[in-house]
Amino acid sequence: MEYKKVFVGYTGKTGAVIFNNFKNDNIYFDYLVNSQNFREYLEKHLESNQIILDFSNKEFILNFLEKIKLKDIKNIFYITGVTGFNYQEIKEINEIFIKNNLFGFHFPNFSIGINLVNKFISEVANYFFDCEIIEAHHPFKKDKPSGTSLMSKNIIKDSWEKNNVHKDINIHSLRLPSLVAHQNIIFANNFGEILEIKHHSLDRRSFYYGVKLVFNKVLNNLDRILNFRARFYFNLNIIDFINENLK
């Protein structure tokens, strides 16, 4: 079965970098979608058997869902890095994906480094029971705090709760020129130790490797993924996804 490949947001700041790196690797898409033509795509070209890579914004996926409700569409594999969804939106997205037997994979950050950090902090949080997070991004980022910092916070709190520790974690957000994406997780304990875990994405190209890993995983394993439970998998870690460790 042939699947059409769709790139949404190919002219945005991050999307353009990812798209150009795909071109450099001779990986091409059947449909290129941005803010100028997304309504035309949804009306005329959204159909069964598509792999959609989305680097746009919430507006696209919410419009996508409205069209999905009206069409009999099967075998959609939707990969996105869009953040800023509230709880109700996530719940609605998941319900529609389940009802229509679609597969959605959401990654709040595609850099390999931050995904490895998020694997590590779950172990650190078993020994350090105080933490604060500083996240810093360019001034045009729409959501605050970042989806990445919220994911890190939830990972730490999950580990704490298993240790019967019930605390909140402050997130400090910076929006400044010349920044791309930066995060500093500061752990402390009562025995005179501070553990800082820093990650810096200095160029948007740093996201491409993770995107390519995920994209190829889907493209080369469609029959296996069809055996997954249809739903919108939110806040995935790339390392877990590659190893098919989905919850």
Q: Which residues are catalytic?
A: 137, 141
The order of strands in the sheet holding 76-80 is 31-33, 4-8, 50-54, 76-80, 103-106, 231-233
Evaluate whether 65 touches 96 at the Cβ level (below 8 Å).
Answer: yes
State which H helix or E strand residue 76 sits in.
strand 76-80
The answer to whether the CB of 135 falls within 8 A of the CB of 173 is: yes
Closest CA to 53 of 14, 85, 87: 14
CA distance 184 to 168: 17
Helix (H) or strand (E) holding 161, with range, is: helix 147-162
Compute the distance between CA of residue 131 and CA of residue 41 in angstroms, rounded to an integer. Answer: 45
